[in-house]
Amino acid sequence: MTVELHPVEGIGEITRGADLGAVIAQACAASPMGLREGDVLVVTQKIVSKAEGALELIDPDDPLSHKPLVERESRRILRRRGDLIISETKHGFVCANAGIDLSNVERGYAALLPDDSDRSAYRIRARIAALSGFTVGVIISDTFGRPWRRGVTDVAIGCAGIAAVVDLKGTADALGRELMVTEVCVADEIAAAADLVCGKARGVPVAIARGIDQSWLRRSSVRTEIVREPAEDLFR
Amino acid sequence: MTVELHPVEGIGEITRGADLGAVIAQACAASPMGLREGDVLVVTQKIVSKAEGALELIDPDDPLSHKPLVERESRRILRRRGDLIISETKHGFVCANAGIDLSNVERGYAALLPDDSDRSAYRIRARIAALSGFTVGVIISDTFGRPWRRGVTDVAIGCAGIAAVVDLKGTADALGRELMVTEVCVADEIAAAADLVCGKARGVPVAIARGIDQSWLRRSSVRTEIVREPAEDLFR
């Protein structure tokens, strides 16, 4: 088995109310690799926020004008250092600045995270199925930092039709012993892989992951499978 | 640009003293996709530890017999819950059980992390260059959990000839504004991508990542670029 990541070019600028599933289906159909049954589409958060109108006016000359939004979108501040706020968002994600950012957004606006990225993924997936006839998985990805390790990576903030976490419990390792580590966050691994071809500077907002283990294509959500409850977390 | 992940089959069981670079070069040469200039090889930690003899005898009937090793390999314990220890290893990684595990290891042994995974990657890379003539990047990967999100993902614990972190500072986004998020941990993204074709249950210990941005192929190390000093960390 081989996994391929293909950038989907030609998406163009997305504005409020855009029919994102249709835009993506059309761009895939026009691309050399096309779309196929069992593909997983990775859609970066920014175009989802734009299509859903999750934008707020800010003062473009004040570099801190989005900070009140960060407080509003957070249900718990975990750390502050200088201008940096690490918080738990209302969705349960822990990230910098409540996932709000200004890059790849028109001057004078800040993009918030989608209200419910699992539902966003579900809608895009349904629209693509209706238009193309293909059953695909959809992951909404965003770029998060993490403690202990430098650099950011892309992770899944929403998904539909693709497992967020795959449980290998009961699976034997190559020597026939039961595996100790059993829950693999494949949605985050797919999101990270997609960033290798999208890239923050390239402005390609969607990638196709082809060759993903077809047993992972099932009903799922980031909220129920990835978001860890504060009570079971050792670092909150 | 497209990125492809190919599992490298036929590596077989690795024992102490194995010439891992030669084994990998041979397996790649025998595989349908071959090896090419500019490929990045992702080598899972377990076979590196085995080749380097980083194994310790444990009592196979005592599920906690590796715990003294965890203490020994840690320079700082961050959290304990039940049998689980989250610590900072002597290498500077923060992970569960100091990266020690028993799966895919012969009964009665525990595998430790390699002493210096950057050097392990460097050696494998040099050996492959000598035998195949190809200049490739090499990443040593391991499976780590993380706070706030359920499930484990593969990350880079060593690298050679491939950037650990790529700095996009000064790069414009698609709308011409300077990017806010500038340091992307591409080595972790490549390690995560490779896990999609290796997989803990499949027992395929090496993958080829093909199509990686060739400007990322440079001298680098996980220790200097990814490992975050405790003083700059908000969660230690």
Instruction: Inform me whether the C-beta atom of residue A55 falls under 8 Å from chain B C-beta atoms.
Output: no
CA A162 to CA A184: how far, in whole Å? 13
Interval B88-104: pLDDT, tens: 999 999 999 999 988 88
Q: CB count, 10 Å around CB of A77?
A: 13
Interface check B155 vs A, CB under 8 A: yes
Amino acid at A4: E
Of A174, A189, A202, the CB nearest to B104: A174
> Residue A97 pLDDT more than 90?
yes
CA distances from B145 to A58, A65, B61, B124 (A): 37, 35, 26, 26
Q: Answer whether A165 sits within 8 Å of B154, measured CB to CB.
A: no
Here the ipTM equals 0.95
Whose tokens are 């569960």? That residue is B96
Highest average pLDDT, of B53-62, B117-126, B165-174, comes from B117-126
Across the interface, do A173 and B106 touch by the CB < 8 Å criterion?
Answer: no
Query: Residue B177: its pLDDT value, please?
Result: 64
pLDDT tens-digit series, residues A23-76? 999 999 999 999 999 999 999 999 999 999 999 999 988 888 889 999 999 999
- Taken in order of first residue, the domains within chain A and their CATH numbers are 4-52+115-232 (3.30.1330.100), 55-113 (3.90.1660.10)
Cα gap A115→B160, rounded to integer Å? 41
Residues 6 or more apart in contact with residue A171 via CB below 8 angstroms: A178, A179, A182, B200, B201
What is the mean pLDDT of the segment spanning B12-39? Answer: 96
Distance CA A59, CA A62 (A): 5
Show residues of chain A in contact with B94, CB under 8 Å.
147-148
Which burial class, exposed, middle or buried, applies to B231 when counting CB atoms under 10 A from its CB (0-12, 13-18, 19+)? exposed
CA A179-A183-A184 angle, to 5 degrees, is 105
Burial of B25 (0-12, 13-18, 19+ CB in 10 A): buried
Confidence bin at B84 (pLDDT 50/70/90): confident
Q: Does A140 touch chain B (CB under 8 A)?
A: no
Q: A76 touching B, CB under 8 A?
A: no
Residue window 217-236, chain A: list those with CB within 8 Å of chain B: 225-228, 233-236
